[in-house]
Structure 1
Amino acid sequence: MTERLYSGPIIDAHHHLWDLTMGRHKWLMPSGGEVEALGGLDALRTNYLVEDFRADSARQRVVGSVHIEALWDRDDLVGETRWLETLDKSDNIASRYIANAGLGTPGAAAVLEEQASFPRVVGVREILSWHPDPKRSFATRSDIAEDPAWRADLALLPQHGLIFELMMYPYQAAMVSDLARRYPQLQFVVNHCGSPIDRDADGMQRWRDGLVTISQHENVALKISNMAAYDKDRTEDSLRAVAMHCLDCFGVARTMLATDYPVARLQMTYDAIYENFKQIFAPLSQDEQSALFHDNAARMYRFDEAV
């Protein structure tokens, strides 16, 4: 079979937008506190709007994209959705949303119901990424997903027709596997390759084993997004190794490709991300490539539905 680089339509299944003049993203403020795992955030401390995403993606055939909640202040989580609704949708940029409902907090059920009332909201996300080194943790607790109140809110998602997205580290693999087993009617989507954060031999084995564990559940899908995160080398071989283990675990049918822009700008340009994707997955058939670059995201995020 002759290898052929993908040239078809793309849905970027994971990116963020923000307007810092609104003062709603405290983690991006100089005094907001940095997560060491991300590195310095100076490059992100500027507005990133539809026109910025459009400029970054101009050389790729992006026909739609999914906005993922960007740690908007928790005192008005629906405010992010209302703001997104005001943005230009003429070229399908940020035309579907994964929102935040503050699962496990008082009033989360009401927030979830309000978020679900927006047709473009197709799911909610939680960040479960806890690391033994506090400087590398996003989550404040290692056991958030074991909290009964949190699980009670999670159980409400299917009745609203929403999927559940999450960030995790390999340390959470057993917990995520347990969630997928307990809630078989809920579609889970793991972000960022399951975050291979520890790049020594033991850490990479922990990550590989973790992906194998969670991939056993058919209701779990994976996004190969920001695959260069935590990778100081960022060589063709290191990127390919991560991407191909993801694909080996989840298969073409349960894998989507995405950028995590502009956060991924800390490591790679938008074009570099997609050019790497095209090279890595060139050995696949055109139908398989279409599934990864476009079709799976179109189905998962209901791009065929009028809103």
Structure 2
Amino acid sequence: MQVVDPHIHLWDLKTHHYPWLANPQTSFVGDARDLQHDYLLADLLRDAEAINVLKLVHVDANHDPADPVEETRWLQGIADGEGRGKPNGIVAGADLSADNAPQVLEAHAAFANTRGIRQILNVHDDKRYDYVGRHYMREPQWRRHFALLKRFGLSFDLQLYPSQMDEAAQLAREHADTQFIVNHGGMFVDRNSTRGYRAWRDGMRSLAACPNVTVKLSGFAMFDHAWTVESLRPYVHELIDTFGHERAMFASNFPVDRLFGSYTAIWNAYAQIVSDASESEKQALFVRNAERIYRI
């Protein structure tokens, strides 16, 4: 199977600082203590086994917020050296609410493989699920700095919960010339109620109504630790139906999803779920969309 994987993380604990791995905790997405070890490009490619990984996009691994550009510098060095081009795209971390956000964006954009920015936005009333504790999209300075993404030719990886999707859709409409990529299928965490399902479904439909928004079919294992092909199938089908085959792409979320399945098992599950799609649709979902959206 050939894939372009548009959502992976690498880290080197010997040379870089990741606060969440320096003091790992157990949360709803799993036990971070099991991730407290180096995970390098060679480890990912070893995990890939029979999967032919054509290209990779690295998404910020919550690197030291005091020096987010160092992660991009390190990754570009890998791509220029032993990675032989991989990671082909870099989605860097930046705090758009910070006073120095314009300088950080400019520094990230100076590296050849930088394609976008991710800032985690997840806010939830239940503290078990709350990531950041503030509504960045409502902050004037954050929004001013968000507008700079166009200047630097950067996309935005949108990680949020269903309760935030209407606000995000408004942001996407206001910035119609910026590419948005919804991470992890919209992070449907409130999946034990009809209200939760409808909030996710309707929120994703609101985002999909914006032509500049796409979705990553990834991260499902964070919310379904005992996942099976059949447990993933309805969510994948709903998202593909909502966004269409040209605005959806499969991704591994490795090594985070490695806590609950092998790289090969996850990709083979995706292949089973869309086994009756046309060859053109499969090529879009597994390869072509990621290449086009991340310009790699």
**Which interval holds the TM-score relative to the shorter structure?**
over 0.9
Following superposition, the deviation at residue 154 of structure 1 comes to 0.7
| Alignment partner of 1:64 is 2:55 | yes
Q: Counterpart in 2 of 1:212?
A: 205
Q: 2:173 pairs with 176, 181, 185, which one?
A: 181
Alignment of 1:227-266 (within 5 A): 227-266=220-259
Give how far 1:232 is off.
Answer: 4.2
Aligned to 2:122: 129
CA distance in 1, matches of 2:13, 2:53: 25
Equivalent-residue separation in structure 2 for 1:120 and 1:205 (angstroms): 38
8 Å contact from structure 2 (residues 226, 260) kept in 1: no
Letter of the aligned partner of 1:66 in structure 2?
V
Match of 1:145 among 137, 149, 152: 137
Contact 1:63 1:92 in 2 (8 A): no
CA distance in 2, matches of 1:220, 1:294: 18
Q: 1:79 aligns with which of 27, 49, 70?
A: 70
Query: How many Å separate the matches in 2 of 1:102 and 1:89?
Result: 30
Name the CA distance, whole Å, in 2 between partners of 1:78 and 1:235: 38
Answering whether residue 150 of structure 2 is matched by residue 166 of structure 1, we say: no
Q: Deviations over 1:250-277 (max 9, x none)?
A: 0011111100100111222101110011
* Structure 1 residues 89 and 208: alpha-carbon distance in aligned structure 2, compared to 1, 3 A threshold: farther
What is residue 53 of structure 1 aligned with on the other side?
Answer: 44
282-291 vs 88-97, greater mean Cα deviation: 88-97
Determine if the alignment matches structure 1 residue 22 to structure 2 residue 11: no
1:38 to partner: Cα distance: 1.6
1:113 aligns with 2:106: yes
The alignment partner of 2:72 has SS state of: helix
2:274 aligned to 262, 275, 281, which one?
Answer: 281
Q: Give the 3-state SS of the residue equivalent to 1:65 in structure 2.
A: strand
Equivalent residues of 1:89, 1:95 under 8 A apart: no
TM-score by length of 2: 0.95
| Paired residue total | 293
Sequence identity of aligned pairs in percent? 37
Partner of residue 197 from structure 1, selected from 189, 196, 209: 189
Deviation per CA, 1:4-48, whole angstroms, max 9, x where unpaired?
Answer: xxx4x310010000001124101012x35x362222112111100
Distance (Å, rounded) in 1 between the aligned partners of 2:121 and 2:28: 14
TM (norm. structure 1) is 0.92
- Supply the AA of the counterpart residue of 2:124: H
Q: Deviations over 1:36-67 (max 9, x none)?
A: 22221121111000110110113101111000
How far residue 205 of structure 1 moved from its aligned partner, in angstroms, is 2.3
Per-residue CA distance 1:211-257 (angstroms, 9 max, x = gap)? 11111111100000122221144132220011111101100111111
Gaps of 5+ in 2: none
Question: What amino acid maps onto 1:196 in structure 2?
Answer: F
SS at match of 1:256: strand
2 CA distance for matches of 1:222 and 1:260? 13
Say if 1:265 and 1:287 are closer, same or farther in 2 by CA, change over 3 A.
same
Q: C-alpha separation between the residues in 2 aligned to 1:232 and 1:203?
A: 19
